[in-house]
Amino acid sequence: MKIAPLEVSTFESNLATAFDNQNLTCYAIIDKAQDKTLLEKFEKGGIGVRGKCMLPAALDSEAEDYAPYLLELSPLAADSEIWPSILRAGAEHPASFTLLASRFSFDTLWEHLAAFTEILLPDDTDMIFAFWDPAVLGTLTGQASDLTLHVPAPVLSERQRARLLLGISVWWYWDRDGNPQQILPRTNAEAAAAHLVSLPLKLTQVQVDMLVEAGVPDQLLSMVMENQPQLLWDIPVSQRYRVIEQHLLDARKLKIFGMRDILNYTCSALIYADALHTDVTIVALLEQVKDGKISFDKAMEQFPRT
């Protein structure tokens, strides 16, 4: 059974409750790489109390302008006139920021989250871990109500998930369709077990593969936008990700796996549209690709001209 996304009215009610709870402090994580103006909106009218770049290596450097930023919100923020426009920005630009409520002080929460910004790969190579990206966050925790996730299964183990959510009472983000999502901690036992997880977090190869796969539709969309943007002009921006993801899935069904071939298939699908599935010549060529008789490059050479 699929779980429905959070109703907007319920989300706003829960958020107001969090602001009123004297045992909790509300925070925003703003991705300045996505929207440099959003921080100014949060700070307008005293909404933001104090903030700090979440990447320790970027502190006091030019890189801060493109890094995630933790901002403590004033208890008066929920009553600010600018708050509705901030919530609309979340729905319209979901990658820009997330909201959370925590029992931790600002310094404690910053230290907790900053420790997660670096992870170790199976070969002990370290890298930046963009868990603050809503699409990544939902994939990490396996947000069942987020129907827009390309990889819906949780990447993190129960203990790792509990370690990430330690001290956090609720974490909100907006999915790709603009629906608010609410991540909640699970059991006290899991929270206790979270202390057994050491940092920096070390991922298994399976976890790395899942995260890589989660980003493939975005990568494809970015490459099409960069190289053949005219192919997307007739598709509403809100629908482009879904269209690209479906072409990716169709390519996999045809046993097309290389990124270059998948990109070429995606562009072909955008160019030929329904003809890719109805034109006798194209259908026959794609069957040969699926059966491994010819490469997709060879098939494309024989596609009818548009």
Helix ranges, the chain (H): 8-20, 38-43, 83-92, 106-114, 134-141, 158-164, 188-193, 205-214, 216-227, 237-253, 259-272, 275-278, 280-290, 296-301
Domain shared by 132 and 162, yes or no: yes
- Does some domain include residue 48? yes
pLDDT at 258: 92
| Closest listed residue to residue 304, CA positions, set 230, 278, 287, 248 | 278
16's tokens? 């107001």
23 near 197, Cβ under 8 Å? no
Domain shared by 196 and 232, yes or no: no
- Does some domain include residue 208? no
pLDDT tens profile 189-227: 666 677 778 899 999 999 999 999 999 999 999 999 999
Most confident of 40-54, 82-96, 123-137: 123-137
Domain shared by 248 and 101, yes or no: no
Distance of CA 185 to the CA centre of its chain: 19
- Going by C-beta distance under 8 Å and a sequence separation of 6 or more, which residues neighbour residue 58? 64, 67
Average pLDDT (39-67) is 87
- Does some domain include residue 267? yes
Domain shared by 114 and 198, yes or no: yes
Domain boundary among 180, 202, 224: 202
Domain shared by 90 and 187, yes or no: yes
Domain range for 283 is 216-301
98's tokens? 């997330």
Over pLDDT 70: what percentage of the chain? 96
Domain shared by 278 and 196, yes or no: no
Domain shared by 132 and 171, yes or no: yes
- Does some domain include residue 210? no
Domain shared by 41 and 86, yes or no: yes
Domain count, the chain: 2
With cut-offs at 50, 70 and 90, classify the pLDDT of residue 240.
very high
- Does some domain include residue 65? yes
Scanning the structure block, which residue is given the tokens 């190289």?
227
- Does some domain include residue 306? no
- Does some domain include residue 2? no
- Does some domain include residue 152? yes
Domain shared by 227 and 293, yes or no: yes
pLDDT tens profile 192-201: 677 778 899 9
- The DSSP element (H or E) to which 183 belongs, if any, is strand 180-183
Domain shared by 284 and 140, yes or no: no
pTM of the model: 0.89
Distance (Å, whole) CA 244 – CA 150: 11
Over pLDDT 90: what percentage of the chain? 70
